Structure 1
């Protein structure tokens, strides 16, 4: 989301206006895969880089609107829930840089875990660990071929609006290929992901799907949108 790549030496300029522990809460609207608006404030999620709105990737050998899907996944993660965003600075375009959470997720980390973003060079270790899970399980972008968003912007400068993030050095186009798995069902509701993960009294990690016998009475300790996400977190499907 930038017309020109910002040189690495200009990194400090992106954080010219630190805002400490300023916290914004409320409902959010999705702009794209790494940008939201809250209470009239445009917020860039710190630590990730998602495909641009116009970016096209490949999956199963066919063109795939990964930028559009990244925005959709971000909307699924938020799921109409209120967000709490902690601002860490502003960028040269006046936008707020922040980490945002729902009652369940660190939003940026969850985008990485679902494979719809890549970590920034200075992202925390749990962000890179979330990326590793997605890559191993071939979630999202890792199910096909894609240009890193920074490389896509470099090649399509006229198609992408400016971005606010820590500076990333210009890079050659980088593609990652993998066999595309079958598209799996997503379980969501008004609160977000609907698969309930629970630690049973016997110490087993079990997930319950909507409609299963014990779903309604299960108090979730984790929520997932797909069964593969639940399995990746170490949960097994309930037998009833």
Structure 2
């Protein structure tokens, strides 16, 4: 359902003539183009994020859409009106509890809070926080997933500074 509504939002932004121009900025690790696309002088990427039908992928956008995403999240627009798993997390196998047939198990990938081990200690990152998207969990290094902030704190992890 969300996919078709996002497609409708995109079609509305593009308009009747369907003219889109894209400027490639990078290539991802699979060789796919990472681009900023415009239609009628409007940044389609940014507008879809602002409307809540797309999410910022901070690794490639350098935070340029962070304010628009925060605005959509706070207003509960588009995807933010409910609960969803971000695309890159979905591809890694994360699922909503409703999709797995029950509540998430602590330490499972269906839990969204990332427990990262760094030179600064054991730090947990909440979805939407500054370093969340760039934080990779390596369970072999003792990193893990938490289902709640309370669970992370009880296990001896702390929130990021600043």
TM-score, length basis structure 2:
0.51
**Structure 2 alignment gaps of length 5 or more:** 95-132, 138-143, 148-162
Alignment pair present for 1:73 and 2:26: no
Among 12, 22, 36, the residue aligned to 1:85 = 22
Relative contact order (C-alpha < 8 Å, sep 6+): which is higher?
1
SS of match in other structure, 1:86? strand
Q: Kindly provide the CA deviation profile for residues 14-49 of structure 1, in whole angstroms up to 9, marking residues without a partner as x.
A: xxxxxxxxxxxxxxxxxxxxxxxxxxxxxxxxxxxx
- Of the two, which has the highest radius of gyration? 1
Query: 1:90 deviation in Å?
Result: 3.2
Q: 1:168 to 1:101 in 2, by over 3 A?
A: farther
Query: 1:140 deviation in Å?
Result: 0.2
SS of match in other structure, 2:136? coil
User: Once superposed, which parts of structure 1, at least 4 consecutive aligned residues long, lie more than 6 Å away?
Assistant: none
Q: 1:173 to 1:73 in 2, by over 3 A?
A: farther
Q: Is the 8 A contact 1:109 1:127 kept in 2?
A: yes
Instruction: Within 5 Å, give how 1:66-215 maps onto structure 2.
Output: 66-79=2-15, 80-122=17-59, 123-155=61-93, 169=136
Q: 1:173 to 1:132 in 2, by over 3 A?
A: same
Q: Kindly provide the CA deviation profile for residues 149-184 of structure 1, in whole angstroms up to 9, marking residues without a partner as x.
A: 22222227xxxxxxxxx987359698xxxxxxxxxx
Q: Distance in 2 between matches of 1:141 and 1:167?
A: 21
C-alpha RMSD of matched pairs (Å)? 3.1
**Structure 1 alignment gaps of length 5 or more:** 1-64, 157-165, 175-240
Query: Which structure is higher in helix share?
Result: 2
Q: Distance in 2 between matches of 1:125 and 1:89?
A: 15
TM-score, length basis structure 1:
0.36
Q: Is the 8 A contact 1:115 1:135 kept in 2?
A: yes
